[in-house]
Copies of this chain bind each other. A is one copy, B any other.
Amino acid sequence: MTARPDTAVGANAGRSRSHNRQVVLGRVRAAGRSGRAEIARATGLTTQAVSNIIAELAGEGLIAPQGRRAGGRGMPAMQYALNPEGGYALGIEIRPDAVFAAVLDLTGQPVFESRRPLDRPDRRGVTRTVLALRDAALREVSGARARLLGAGLVMPGPFGDTGIAGSGSDLAGWADTDPRAWFAEALGLAVEVENDANAAAMAERVAGAGQGLESFVFVYFGQGLGLGIVHRGRLVAGAFGNAGEIGHIPVPAAGRTVPLETAVSRLSVRRALAAAGREADSAADLARLYAARDPALMAWLAAAAEPFSAAITIVENLFDPETVILGGAMPEPIVDHLIASAVPAERSVSNRAGRGRPRLVRGACGPMTATLGAAALILDRTFTPAIAVAR
């Protein structure tokens, strides 16, 4: 969120160990059941080093032995996999009118979801609600209390003063607070803060349509329209944490140029439906109208195709992702309709022959994507080496 977030940090024995733990854990997560020797080859460590780390991780319950793999020539490898109950991540999504919470187990499976209304969106009200949700989660998920890895937080963006009038969703009373430090103190946990689209992208990466992808972008239907960018396994958040504000980009729509958000977003469809006398406050409303092939909704979809396609073209050419995932608080059939109606651009670096993967896919995490993503931020942190990645 700051312009110069990280200074390179030196390595020493202790930090190397911590780094290697994460490397091993990350490999087990990415590759599934793995043996020591295999992990050693993949990470450039010796089997002995991996062996020691495996013993440590297994002792802490983060991974568990899965029996030996039969089949090969020599001694069959003892396989290890993540232990789902070895750790939990708390995700909190703060909206102006409510707070959502979710808990993911170590493998990314949701084990708790809840929400509470927010009567006063000031610092005290939000904090109290967040603490209540955490307590509820800890009561519900047995064993989580001692094994909570941290809390991810999703707050309405954009962060800081961006001069965009009427972005509106800003919470009152947070201007001069660093939410990360604030909640780290209040919760007594490691905390990560991101905007909804970035967190949602992490959810898809950890447990959804982005599994196994190192570089992709996620078009997120939230209040507005956001873009979560994952590049080589890391979020691209921008210098000030506001990258991916795709809703504001100019796109063609019926001979005019409009901000994407006015043509493709939940607000946009609600307005279009309201103009036709339809109420559609919730995703369920939208799903119902779509099932009935409501003419106003279908007209909106038809009108959205051009600006949506333009946006996808822009995103493909600027990020060259493995794929573009589309999801969030929009009913699946409507997402599928948008995907089907998008015109894949000829002039796009993604228009390559022999693609193994579709250019556009629907996300797999549903309407709670951002909340799950908040927790996914913590899982990602757990599996991403602190001292990082080779060239």
Complex Cα spacing A241 to B215, Å? 11
A369 at the interface (CB under 8 A from B): no
Q: A314 contacts the other chain (Cβ, under 8 Å)? A: yes
A319 at the interface (CB under 8 A from B): yes
Chain B residues with CB under 8 A of A214:
3-5, 239
CB pair B388–A381 under 8 Å, yes or no, is: no
Question: Which of A75-83, A104-112, A249-257, A287-295 contacts the other chain?
Answer: A249-257
**A52 CB to nearest chain B CB (Å):** 12
Q: Which residues of B contact A215 (CB under 8 A)?
A: 3, 238-239
Q: How large is the interface on A (under 10, 10 to 19, 20 to 34, 35 or more residues)?
A: 35 or more
Q: Given A10-B44, A239-B321, is A252 in contact with B250 using a C-beta cutoff of 8 Å?
A: yes
Q: How far is the CB of A228 from chain B (nearest CB, A)?
A: 11
- Assuming the contacts A10-B19, A231-B236, A252-B252, asked whether A317 and B245 have C-beta atoms less than 8 A apart, the reply is yes
CB of A30, distance to nearest CB on chain B (Å): 8
Which chain B residue shows the least CB distance to A259? B347
**Chain B nearest Cβ from A365, distance in angstroms:** 21
* Known pairs A252-B250, A320-B238; A352 contacts B8 (CB<8 A): no
Shortest distance from the beta carbon of A45 to any chain B beta carbon, whole Å: 4
Residue of B nearest to A354 (CB): B161
Q: Which of the 9-residue segments A20-28, A90-98, A118-126, A169-177 touches chain B?
A: A20-28
One of B227, B251, B320, B390 near A9 (C-beta < 8 A): B390
**Contact for A346 among B27, B163, B353, B354, CB less than 8 A:** B163
- Interface positions of A from 344 to 363, Cβ below 8 Å from B: 345-354
Contacts of A248 in B (CB 8 A): 313, 317, 345, 347-349
Most buried by B among A13, A244, A352: A352
Q: Is A142 an interface residue (CB 8 A)?
A: no
Q: Is the CB of A320 within 8 A of B252?
A: no
- Which of the residues B239, B322, B347 comes within 8 Å of A322, measured between beta carbons? B239
Give 5 CB contacts A-B under 8 Å. A8-B389, A10-B43, A162-B350, A231-B238, A248-B349
